[in-house]
Amino acid sequence: MLCGCFSAAGTGRLVRIGGKMNGAKYREIFDENLLQSTQDLRLGRRFTFQKDKDPRHTAKTTQEWFRDKSLNVLE
């Protein structure tokens, strides 16, 4: 499984996921890659993360992660 991101400014990091994907691994990927990708693409805080209704995306702990990082999320 792969996890990645893209924007009008280009593509971010592409991460290969080994094992089962759960909420904790999902947040770990964000910690290690999402914010770095936004820096690499020079987006600063000028981006909105778009998610779907996957349970990993809607978990309370994941939503708290977005709030703690003060990120804009498209619901």
Q: How crowded is the C-beta side of 11, counted as CA atoms within 13 Å?
A: 5
More confident residue, 45 or 68: 68
Distance in angstroms (rounded) separating the CA atoms of residues 43 and 59: 26
Both structure tokens of 33: 């890659």
More confident residue, 67 or 75: 67
Position 33 scores a pLDDT of 92
Position 10 scores a pLDDT of 94
Segments making up each domain of the chain, as ranges: 2-74
pLDDT digits (tens, 9 = 90+) for 15-56: 998 888 888 888 898 889 998 999 999 998 788 988 888 888
Global pTM value: 0.78
